[in-house]
Amino acid sequence: MSSSASKRVVITGASSGIGAATAEAFARRGARLVLAARNGTALDEVAGRCRGLGAEVLTVPTDVTDAEAVQHLADRAAEWLGAIDLWFSNVGVGVVGKFHEVPLRAHRQVVEANLLGHLHDAYAVLPIFLRQKRGIFVNMISIGGFVATPWAAAYAASKFGLRGLSQALRGELSAYPDIHVCDIYPTFVDTPAIRHAGNYAGGETSVPPGVLDPRTVARAVVRLADAPRPSTGIGAPTLLMKLGQVVAPDLGASAMNGFLGRYFGRATPAPATDGNLFAPPATDGRIDGGFRRPGERRTFGALAVLGGLAGVALLAARLARRPGARDHR
């Protein structure tokens, strides 16, 4: 048993991917769990696996875009658990396609789920934390909170917004040393979310080489239960991507736009779909998306290092060209 044993944990978006992996990771440590997502059947599947690992589990089917439903989840969780030690705000959806070609209702739903859904989570649980004078709110953001995502503009807006929400909350809660708001920034993760996403790009979606195992992200969340910290990046390229935003933010977005245009131009044609934006997928409960292939992580890591070195070189060149730079030599 680790020191995270017997924690009382709420996980939204627990029906697949990172949420399901995190539920299992906490279950192995003896945590008591309240699991929430739209798909009650998938929740029951995940809960069954967690109970098999020895955990006590309550499922509360919840759509986080409904503020009243999230308040009910928080009240039910506090009643059943007695207190809430950690709330993992993990819901995330997406839609791929050129901004003006994606229906506006799809853009709105991404923001509703990814930004307002997390705001609803925080609004429901923070009063509980304030009464307890302790608690950990873990905000799943992704590297998309730092790096813009062409062909997924609403996703970028929601993730940039989440980063601002967390920073604002940390400021408001600075007088409460035992209440923590922790952000998670993984790079691409091998979950069913990619296959579930809305798609108006005209071709099948995929992910770049070297995607993370969802269990790697889950372990990071579990560590926060014992040692909370404001920001956790996961995946070798994370710091390098942040550096690229400092050096040349628009250049990176432009390059990504060109890459995606070429990719979808060659991809296997796919019909337009809203995916899981407005209703959960018929099948769920799985952790893995099936995108990982042997030998990819090393290749992606090497490319990331080369990209980072190029970014450092570009930054150094820019600084050297600044007016007055020679005067300080």
Alpha-carbon dihedral sign for residues 234, 237, 240, 244: negative
Distance CA 28, CA 9 (A): 13
Which pair of structure tokens corresponds to residue 198? 């809305």
- List, as one string, the DSSP characters of 212-272: BPHHHHHHHHHHHHHS--SEEEESTTHHHHHHHHHH-HHHHHHHHHHHHHHHHHHSPB---
Spot the catalytic one: 123, 155, 176, 200: 155
231 bridge partner residues: 183
Question: If phi over 0 gives left and psi between -120 and 50 gives alpha, with beta otherwise, what is residue 316?
Answer: alpha
Query: What residues have CB less than 8 Å from 313, skipping those under 6 apart?
Result: none
Active-site residue, 123 included: no
Q: What angle do CA 87, 88, 93 make, to 5 degrees?
A: 140
Q: Is 324 left (phi over 0), alpha (psi -120 to 50) or beta?
A: left
- Number of Cβ within 10 Å of residue 86's Cβ equals 26
* Phi, psi values for residue 184, rounded to 5°: -115, 130
Q: Which residues are catalytic?
A: 155
